[in-house]
Amino acid sequence: MRSDPTILHVDLDAFFAAVEQRDKPSLRGKPVVVGGVGGRGVVATASYEARVFGVRSAMSTREARARCPHAAYLTGRFDAYRQTSRRVMELLRGLSPLVEPLSLDEAFVDLAAAGLDDLSVAGVTAVAERLKADVAEVTGGLCGSVGVATSKLVAKIASDLDKPDGLVVVPPGTERDLLRPMSVGVIPGVGPATAERLRRAGVHTVQDLEDVPADELVRVVGQAHGTSLYRMARADDDRPVVAERETKSVSVEGTYDTDLVDRRLLEGLVERQATQVAERLRKARLSGRTVTVKIRLHDFTTHTRSSTLPAPTDDTRVVARLARSLLGEVDTSGGVRLLGVGVSGLADWIQEDLFADYEDTEQAGAGSTLEPLPADALAAVTRSRPWAPGMDVVHAEHGAGWVWGSGVGRVTVRFETAGTGPGPVRTFRMDDPALAPAAGDRFDDPEDDPEG
DNA sequence: TCTGGGGTCCTAGGACCC
DNA sequence: TCTGGGGTCCTAGGACCC
């Protein structure tokens, strides 16, 4: 916790709905609900006019319609939201170089990095007031609620206290008194499940939480959560504002209006999602090793199946083939309501580096000096693990490697050096096109095989 | 026909290695 | 030959956030 209130949290009020009302004057002053409008949609954001009728985020659209039939129900226009968000984030970065976006409509700003002379309560209040006016100006009239405090925890809670269009600065030294009477649910990370566990232990307020010893908290909610809660209960939070955060995973999922049973349809959908994920990976210049499919069945039970490749990929065919194969490991005969495909284990080396290697090899092989791929290279074929489900494993005499590209009469293999990641790329002549392996196939080194 | 989509982080068990 | 601990990686599931 800092000695001055230098952490600012901004949260744009009813953001998606506010953008819609800004862009469509006929919606101003009226209930607006943005979210899924299909049979299984949920509310992403309700305007304050709709909240009067009890419409809330995460509520099913069906229920929202029952509560507020006369609202305008809109699907999201995310490009517009992103554009507006970008303007706000740029504004914040003009205030301080240290800005941590949490989502399109929320960010922390580190005022200690802003070069301000006056970090008193009055000083940061003036800064926050000016910021709110600037937000309205760059967004075309949107409101943001602002909290300023000595920590992320308290700044975030403060921004929520006077919504909409709020401004709360918490004077240093008053944090614990502010939190004590509040429900434990105000602490980020305490959701319904944790709140229920705490309730059963007799803990309802932050004050109650303060009275629980650390080891008991760990027993009730686990190691990481318990130690963190022990500190949060005391407003003891020194988490820094972090500007850059690495992407850890990329995924696409979809919920269908009716439960799907047809295998061919499911396979087609999963392949399409795999294609979208791979496209997004390439666009972001990322590649990843672990492919996961997510399957939510008719009864809302959710299953995931994942498989990790020896090397990262952003290749549509590799992701699609693996995803389809993982789908096959789950019994979907009762009907599927949601399907998803994700890639994680993202690599710190990017596509550009691979292309550099690949193109070098292509040029090196252009003079028809390619070595033939030995006939026995394709002797053994396995269609299951350990390498990866759905991938053909082929054996070569040239060490362990992955087929990186294959074309007519030609196959390119990127070899691996055991344990150290990507190795050299080599291209071989493929004399029998019928045997041509596909990208993602693995060439295994027979000398590694204990059975010879 | 209650329950989105895109993420992050944690836990727990097993494999494997030293 | 047996016992054992620690670390890392992988997988599955779950809680949580906006």
Q: SS3 of A37, please?
A: coil
Q: Which of A2-11, A115-124, A265-274, A440-449 has the lowest mean pLDDT?
A: A440-449
Write the CB contacts of A324 (distance below 8 Å, at least 6 apart in sequence): A267, A270, A271, A274, A390
Q: C1' nearest to CA of A292: which nucleotide? A: C11
pTM of the predicted protein model: 0.81
Positions of strand B less than 7 angstroms from a protein CB = 1-12
Q: C1' nearest to CA of A308: which nucleotide? A: C10
Q: Is the CB of A433 under 7 A from strand C?
A: no
Report the alpha-carbon angle A56-A190-A228, nearest 5.
Answer: 150
Write the CB contacts of A360 (distance below 8 Å, at least 6 apart in sequence): A425
Instruction: Tell me, rounded to whole angstroms, the distance of Cα A228 from its chain centroid.
Output: 22
| Residue A360 counted as an annotated binding residue | no
CATH 1.10.150.20 domain span(s) along chain A:
178-232
Write the CB contacts of A91 (distance below 8 Å, at least 6 apart in sequence): A131, A134, A135, A138
Positions of strand C less than 7 angstroms from a protein CB = 9-18
For residue A339, which of A302, A306, A314, A308 has the smallest C-alpha distance?
Answer: A302
Kindly report, residue by residue over A56-83, the tens digit of the pLDDT. 999 999 999 999 999 999 999 999 999 9
For residues A268 and A272, give the distance between their C-alpha atoms in angstroms, rounded to a whole number: 6
Strand A144-149, strand A249-260: pairing: unpaired
Question: Is the pLDDT confidence value at A401 over 70?
Answer: no
Cα distances from A373 to residues A306, A365, A367, in angstroms, run: 32, 13, 17
Q: Is the CB of A290 under 7 A from strand C?
A: yes
Q: C1' nearest to CA of A258: which nucleotide? A: B1
What is the CB neighbour count within 10 angstroms for residue A172?
18
Question: Is the pLDDT confidence value at A157 over 90?
Answer: yes
Tokens 């759905």 identify what position? Answer: A390
| Residue A162 counted as an annotated binding residue | no
Provide the CA A309 to C1' C11 distance, Å, integer.
13
For residue A34, which of A92, A105, A140, A119 has the smallest C-alpha distance?
Answer: A105
Q: Is the CB of A434 under 7 A from strand B?
A: no
Q: Which of A64-78, A286-300, A402-416 has the lowest mean pLDDT?
A: A402-416
Q: Which of A117-126, A141-150, A328-337, A360-369 has the lowest mean pLDDT?
A: A360-369
Residue A347, pLDDT score: 86
Question: Is the pLDDT confidence value at A220 over 50?
Answer: yes
Which is the catalytic residue, given A20, A49, A100, A106? A106
CATH superfamily of A178-232: 5' to 3' exonuclease, C-terminal subdomain (1.10.150.20)
Provide the CA A189 to C1' C15 distance, Å, integer.
8
Q: SS3 of A129, please?
A: helix
Residue A429, pLDDT score: 54
Provide the CA A293 to C1' B10 distance, Å, integer.
20
CATH 3.30.1490.100 domain span(s) along chain A:
249-348
Q: Is the CB of A40 under 7 A from strand C?
A: no
Q: Which CATH number is A249-348's, of 3.40.50.10610, 3.30.1490.100, 3.30.1360.120, 3.30.1520.10?
A: 3.30.1490.100
| Whether A359 is catalytic | no
Residue A356, pLDDT score: 43
Q: Which CATH number is A1-170's, of 3.20.20.70, 3.90.25.10, 3.30.1330.40, 3.30.70.270?
A: 3.30.70.270
Provide the CA A91 to C1' B17 distance, Å, integer.
51
Q: What is the mean pLDDT of residues A113-139?
A: 98
Question: Is the pLDDT confidence value at A166 over 90?
Answer: yes
Provide the CA A70 to C1' B1 distance, Å, integer.
23
Q: What is the mean pLDDT of residues A324-345?
A: 97
Q: Is the CB of A345 under 7 A from strand C?
A: yes
DSSP A199-240: HHTT--BHHHHHTS-HHHHHHHH-HHHHHHHHHHTTT---PP
Report the alpha-carbon angle A365-A366-A369, nearest 5.
Answer: 55
CATH 3.30.70.270 domain span(s) along chain A:
1-170
Provide the CA A233 to C1' C14 distance, Å, integer.
24
Q: Is the CB of A345 under 7 A from strand B?
A: no
Q: Is the CB of A125 under 7 A from strand C?
A: no
Question: Please, are residues A70 and A111 in contact by the beta-carbon 8 Å criterion?
Answer: no
